[in-house]
Amino acid sequence: PDPNISPLPPGSHILFAQSGRIEYIPLEGHNLKKNEAKTALHLPEKVVIGIAFDCMEKMVYWTDISTPAISRASLRGGEPVHIITSDLSSPEGIAIDHVGRNVFWTDSMKDRIEVASLDGSQRLVLINTDLVNPRAILTDPTNGYIYWADWNRDAPKIEMAYMDGTNRRILVKDDLSLPNGLTYDPQTSLLCWADAGTHKVECMNPQQGSRRQLMEGIQYPFGLTTDGKSLYYTDWTRRAVVVVDRHARQEVDEFQPQKQTRLYGITTAHAHCPSGQNYCSSN
Amino acid sequence: DSTVGSSSDCKLCPCPAGATCAVVPRTKEVVCTNCPTGTTGKRCELCDDGFFGDPLGENGRVRTCRACSCNNNIDPNAVGNCNRETGECLKCIYNTAGVFCDRCKEGFYGDARAANVSDKCKACSCSPYGTVDKKTTCSQVTGQCQCLPHVINRDCSACEPGFYNLQSGKGCERCNCNSIGSTN
């Protein structure tokens, strides 16, 4: 049979984590080439939650709650390497600043947000107050921001701060329930989230604050990513990757892996890095 | 590896029935790729996240994977709720603790297994003035804090009748009222 483990071919891909492996689906334009979906990495003993992609070195980074660890591997073929193994409890969300060459993550048991260089050195706690169940995190390298969501049942919220943890502020706290997934499109400056409690996908411009609903009645979203045109979310109930067209505001495709189990983090592996610079790239 | 050219190139997958397997190109290690529902691991020997058991009986009898069992004191939106083999609960909520979130955590009392969240674990809230060594823990069942001499109430917040000066932090003192001039 097909070995089903292979280095990523050229082009852009959707990567997602499912029970001990990281899968990829090639993108052709904005369409999923579902019949070319394959396993990029087998990590049979691990529980991979969050994944992120470094467009510069073509490396995938992930959080693993079973070790627990933060690890990376080259998608051109390469061994997984732990970059952080100490002082972690439940590392979940992960994001890369490809410009500043840093990795950010949330830990829902330590209740903090941390940063380190991509090799795991220079580790620093950025935020350790007013966090209960921090999960999704993402970066806006051009403007030097991080965004994250906390699904605290008593007071869920979406927040932002500078990449050094300063200038923290709450973006959304009303009409939120379980904002598991979060994504940002640098082209349109739109921050979108998928909520497993309100069963909605909503977006806003973080600078202008205008909020609008994209989808309602969705089932159980966990991870969320975008390629600029479509949104892709993993769904625990449907055990699938669901594709939503942002302009048509409707579901346009679905990918259901052969293996029937929950899907976790999802990210877009762009063939090329978006251009841009930030303070951290020179300091 | 079917490209070697001998009749024994292809071997049976060392996986449970129905699962396929693959050779990891770099390490030549064989891993199962489509483990039965609820299982994972190189040989389908582990349970998926949110489940526990020992599906191949590697450490004793076979225990099929079942959902984490934590007295309804875990959040279904959380990940890693229990140890995948032993089922030990790792993310107890509602101020519960224990292997199966079956007791109250330190500083709380009540019935961790109660059906209603409001009946579960309540804070001890021991009075710092009336409690021995200003302890913040209490009896896990009754909620009784350990009171200083002549201090009463579950939370050690009051003096016995005929005693005063809880604020001293050393227990309550006898009033010493003159029986002739006092009303009772």
> What total of structural domains would you count in chain A?
1
CB-based contact A19 B40, cutoff 8 Å: yes
Residue at A5 is within a domain: no
Q: d(Cα A48, Cα A62) in Å, to the nearest integer?
A: 7
Does a structural domain hold residue A204?
yes
Contact A153 B75 (CB under 8 A): yes
Give the chain A residue nearest B13 (alpha carbons). A1
pLDDT in tens, A100-109: 999 999 999 9
What confidence category does residue A3 fall into, taking pLDDT thresholds of 50, 70 and 90? very low
Q: In this structure, how many other beta carbons lie within 10 angstroms of the beta carbon of residue B125?
A: 17
Q: Closest CB to B77: pick one of A45, A77, A151.
A: A151
Distance from the Cα of B49 to chain A's closest Cα (Å) equals: 7
Report strand pairing: B21-23 vs A21-28: unpaired
Domain extent, residue A133, equals: 13-282
* DSSP state at residue B112: T
Judge contact between B37 and B29, C-beta under 8 A: no
**pLDDT recorded at residue A280:** 55
Q: Do residue A42 and residue B75 have CB atoms under 8 angstroms apart?
A: no
Contact A193, A225 (CB under 8 A): no
On the question of pLDDT at A151 being above 80, the answer is yes
A5 has a pLDDT exceeding 90: no
- The pLDDT score that the predictor gives to residue A206 is 94
* Residue range A151-165: mean pLDDT, rounded: 97
Q: Do A49 and B40 touch (CB under 8 A)?
A: no
Is residue A108 in some structural domain?
yes
Flag whether pLDDT at A134 surpasses 70.
yes
For each of the domains in chain B, give its residue range(s) and CATH number, in order of start.
Answer: 17-66 (2.10.25.10), 68-109 (2.10.25.10), 124-184 (2.10.25.10)
What are the residues whose beta carbons fall under 8 Å from the beta carbon of A84, sequence distance 6 or more? Answer: A69, A70, A91, A116, A120, A123
ipTM for the predicted complex: 0.93
CA–CA min distance A64, chain B (Å): 10
Local confidence pLDDT in tens for the 184 residues of chain B: 666 667 667 888 888 887 888 887 767 788 888 888 889 999 999 999 999 999 999 999 999 999 999 999 999 999 999 999 999 999 999 999 999 999 999 999 999 999 999 999 999 999 999 999 999 999 988 999 999 999 999 999 999 999 999 999 999 999 888 878 877 6
A113 domain residue, yes or no: yes
Q: Is residue A1 part of a domain?
A: no
| pLDDT tens string A184-243 | 999 899 999 999 999 999 999 999 989 999 999 999 999 999 998 999 999 999 999 999
* Confidence at residue A1, expressed as pLDDT on a 0 to 100 scale: 29
Q: What is the 3-class SS of chain A, one letter each residue?
A: CCCCECCCCCCCEEEEEECCEEEEEEEECCEECHHHCEEEEECCCCCEEEEEEECCCCEEEEEECCCCEEEEEECCCCCCEEEECCCCCCEEEEEEECCCCEEEEEECCCCEEEEEECCCCCCEEEECCCCCCEEEEEEECCCCEEEEEECCCCCCEEEEEECCCCCCEEEECCCCCCEEEEEEECCCCEEEEEECCCCEEEEECCCCCCEEEEEECCCCEEEEEECCCEEEEEECCCCEEEEEECCCCEEEEEECCCCCCCEEEEEEECCCCCCCCCHHHHC
Residue A260 has a pLDDT of 86
Of A45, A133, A259, the CB nearest to B34: A259
Q: Does residue A247 fall inside a structural domain?
A: yes
Cross-strand bridge partners of residue A28: A31
Is B87 in a helix, a strand, or coil?
Answer: coil
The domain spanning residue A257 has which CATH number? Answer: 2.120.10.30
| A155 located within any domain | yes
| pLDDT > 50? residue A4 | no
Integer Cα distance of B132 and B149 in angstroms: 9
CB–CB contacts below 8 A, A to B: 72
Question: Are the Cβ atoms of A259 and B35 closer than 8 angstroms?
Answer: yes
Q: Is A109 in Cβ contact with B35 (below 8 Å)?
A: no
Residue range B119-155, pLDDT digits in tens: 999 999 999 999 999 999 999 889 999 999 999 999 9
Which pLDDT value is given to residue B178?
82
pLDDT of residue A6: 67
Interchain pair A180, B77: CB under 8 A:
yes
Instruction: Find which of A47, A64, A234 to mutate to test the B interface (most B CBs within 10 Å of its CB).
Output: A47
B40·A44 Cβ contact <8 A: yes
Residue A69 within any structural domain of the chain: yes
Instruction: For chain B, list residues whose CB is within 8 angstroms of any CB belonging to chain A.
Output: 20, 22-26, 31-35, 37-38, 40-42, 46, 48-50, 75, 77-80, 84, 91
Query: What residues of chain A lie within 8 A of the CB of B34, using their CB?
Result: 258-259
Encoding tokens for residue A83?
Answer: 């970059």
pLDDT for the residue A277: 60
pLDDT at A32 over 80: yes
Spatial CA neighbour of B35 closest among A204, A274, A19, A70: A19
Query: Mind listing the pLDDT tens digit for each residue in A162-173?
Result: 999 999 999 999
* A277 or A154: which leads in pLDDT: A154
Contacts of A79 in chain B (CB under 8 A): 26
The torsion angles phi and psi of A36, rounded to 5 degrees, stand at -110, 10
- Which chain A residues touch B if contact means CB-CB below 8 Å? 1-5, 19-20, 39, 42, 44-45, 47, 49, 65-66, 77, 79, 90, 92, 108-109, 133, 151, 153, 178, 180, 196-197, 258-262, 264
Distance CA A233, CA A197 (A): 15
SS3 B67: strand
Residue B182: its pLDDT value, please?
78
